[in-house]
Amino acid sequence: MATNPQFPQQRGPQRVPDVHPKLQVPPRKQFPWPVVALIAAAAILAAIFFYMPTTPHKRPAPNAAQVPIQPTGSQIQLSELKIQPAPTGGAVYLIGRVTNTGGTDITGVQVEASFRGANGQNLETVARPIEDMQSPTKAQDLTKNPIKPNERRPFRISFDRVPAGWNHALPAISIANVTGTKP
């Protein structure tokens, strides 16, 4: 029955430990799995930190001797400015000659042209790049053929549209940005 279990009787002599009955024998230790798991987790964490990307190293800012001389609008001179109507549409060209008076090659010049009305009021200011004139009909970007120091060459500025009410006089031109490289 389940309420009164019977245990089988042991046969043969019972084995008695060889130690003194009052001395306790320490139980046999099992393998230290928790310690192994902690060591493995620490190794994985160390590997993640080792192979994780780092931030770039901060480099010192260049001192004055390392900064190349930057071109300015004062080393660009525009002369012989004329207005020329474009062959198509209502566009106009501003043509002339540009001179590089600085010591660096000029790879780009951005100008601002202010178109005036009949009463002299400013109708619109437009920013446009200067284009190098290869021939009377062909223009290219200055990055393809930079202006060397002390060089003078023809240029063109194209305006796709001009503001209504423009007095057809030469717009006021100011140099907004100049880019260049070392000669």
Q: Which of 117, 128, 116 is nearest to 78 (CA)?
A: 128
Residue 183's CB: how many other CB atoms inside 10 A? 12
- Give the CA radius of gyration of the chain: 44
For the chain, list the domains and their CATH numbers. Answer: 73-181 (2.60.40)
- Mean pLDDT of the region 17-32: 68
Residue 15 has pLDDT above 70, yes or no: no
Note the pLDDT tens digit of each residue in 97-132. Answer: 998 888 888 888 899 989 898 888 888 888 999 888
Question: Alpha-carbon torsion 173, 147, 132, 141, what sign?
Answer: negative
Over residues 1-13, the pLDDT tens digits come to: 556 666 556 555 5
Instruction: Give residue 39's pLDDT.
Output: 96
Per residue in 46-99, pLDDT (tens digit) is 999 888 877 777 777 766 665 566 677 678 888 888 988 887 777 888 889 998
Q: Which pLDDT belongs to residue 69? A: 65
pLDDT 10s digits, 137-165:
777 788 888 888 888 999 988 888 888 88
Look up residue 124 and give its two tokens. Answer: 């619109």
85 secondary structure, DSSP code: E
CA distance 80 to 52: 62
User: What pLDDT, on the 0 to 100 scale, is given for residue 40?
Assistant: 96
Q: Among candidates 86, 80, 77, which has minimal Cα distance to 159?
A: 86
pLDDT at 44: 95
